[in-house]
Amino acid sequence: MSSKPVEYNATVTYKKLLTPTLGLFRVVADKPWPSFIPGQYAILGLNHPEQGGVMRAYSIASAPHLHEQYLEFYIRFVNEPTSDNPMTHLLFEAKEGDRIYTRDKLQGHFTEEKCMGVEDKRLKVFVASGTGLAPFTSIVFEHHKHHGANGNYAIVHGASYAKDLGYVDELEEIMNKGAEHPRYLPSVSRPQETANWEGLTGRVEVHFQQDRIGYLEKKLGLDEEGFNPKNCTVMICGLQGTIANTITSLLYRGFVPGDRKLRRALGVPEEMAATLFFEQYDTTPIIDIKDEALIAELSARLKEALEKFGKDLPTASAVAAH
């Protein structure tokens, strides 16, 4: 069954393919968008010859101060996991100057404001796989525009190859240049296919495992066992595996998820403030909360970690009031 065709109201003004399946796209609307909060997303649409209008949500990678000029998107061609939505197939065929549809409302709650709060002084660690980087570039680019310095942000970004690391030059420049400790840490899972690779190796989530997080702490300039909710908050964006494995690893350090269903399953008290937030790009459940044995093990893991790392943390009401 086909959908009603969409009426184009914007133009693709810039297209850069980093690889055949990974690209940067800039879109200019006929009527400029209102401003947005870094971390929000836009709905883009194109007309398919058989399915009619197809649409998909994309996180905005560019900073809000550019919204009257364009929005930029960091997009992967969706082939696996397979999808019935051919939006990216159409988009990757588009040329600069082609018309496109966009909703005029920019929305979403995966923002610094809605998660830990802008005023939180702890190190905000952004964990991304692939194009899950997009909401975090919007945050750090906007902060750099207005404040110049990096602020209390760190990005750990994973991809298969170095060529898949979008915005690597820009992030190196504003987050690592002249810094005592790097705040942008890229990781590739196939370093043998990247000549002279000197960054982290492995899928991004492995750096939070108990046997590897100590090295990450040293890179970030944290004390031993300093990667804990007294010193850090965490936002994760990407595919299910990245999010699930990062969460289960960080439960050892006492990080409390913000997701309500997961909190209830883990027995987290209502008054305990969240310190770990995520946004996923697929529909697979992050953690199977119906798996009683798994949930029991994770609950025990978190309870033990909170006894060690969770003392004197602010309550949810205190964070909200602040």
pLDDT digits (tens, 9 = 90+) for 144-194: 999 987 789 999 999 999 999 999 999 999 999 988 899 999 999 998 877
In a domain, 2, yes or no: no
* Least confident stretch, 30-39, 126-135, 242-251: 30-39
Check whether residue 200 and residue 256 sit in a common domain.
yes
What strands, in cross-sheet order, belong to the sheet with 10-19?
Answer: 52-59, 41-48, 99-102, 10-19, 22-29, 71-76
Check whether residue 155 and residue 256 sit in a common domain.
yes
Domain boundary among 67, 102, 137: 102
In a domain, 115, yes or no: no
Query: In the predicted model, is pLDDT for residue 238 greater than 90?
Result: yes
Check whether residue 139 and residue 183 sit in a common domain.
yes
Three-class SS of residue 272?
Answer: strand
In a domain, 62, yes or no: yes
CATH number at residue 78: 2.40.30.10
Check whether residue 182 and residue 315 sit in a common domain.
yes
Which positions ≥6 away from 160 have C-beta within 8 Å? 188, 189, 190
Check whether residue 281 and residue 135 sit in a common domain.
yes
In a domain, 49, yes or no: yes
Check whether residue 198 and residue 251 sit in a common domain.
yes
The secondary structure of residue 257, as a DSSP letter, is B
Query: In the predicted model, is pLDDT for residue 322 greater than 60?
Result: no
Check whether residue 283 and residue 317 sit in a common domain.
yes
Check whether residue 299 and residue 156 sit in a common domain.
yes
> Do 251 and 89 form a contact (C-beta atoms < 8 A)?
no
Report how far Cα 56 is from the mean position of its chain's Cα atoms: 17
In a domain, 93, yes or no: yes
pLDDT band per the 50, 70, 90 thresholds, residue 195: confident
Burial of 149 (0-12, 13-18, 19+ CB in 10 A): exposed
pLDDT band per the 50, 70, 90 thresholds, residue 319: low
Report how far Cα 16 is from the mean position of its chain's Cα atoms: 21
Check whether residue 92 and residue 202 sit in a common domain.
no
Domain boundary among 70, 102, 134: 102
What is the reported pLDDT for 317?
54
Report the DSSP pairing between strands 200-201 and 52-59: unpaired
CATH number at residue 296: 3.40.50.80
Check whether residue 145 and residue 284 sit in a common domain.
yes
Check whether residue 94 and residue 224 sit in a common domain.
no
* Least confident stretch, 3-17, 75-89, 120-134, 195-209: 75-89
Which positions ≥6 away from 90 have C-beta within 8 Å? 46, 47, 48, 54
In a domain, 16, yes or no: yes
In a domain, 118, yes or no: no
Sign of CA dihedral 253, 137, 201, 199: negative
Per the structure, the count of domains in the chain is 2
The fraction of the chain above a pLDDT of 90, given in percent, is 82
Query: In the predicted model, is pLDDT for residue 321 greater than 80?
Result: no
What is the reported pLDDT for 133?
98
Domain containing 61: what range? Answer: 10-102
Please list the residues that pair with 181 across neighbouring strands. Answer: none
* Phi/psi of residue 141, nearest 5 degrees: -65, -40
Check whether residue 219 and residue 164 sit in a common domain.
yes
In a domain, 263, yes or no: yes
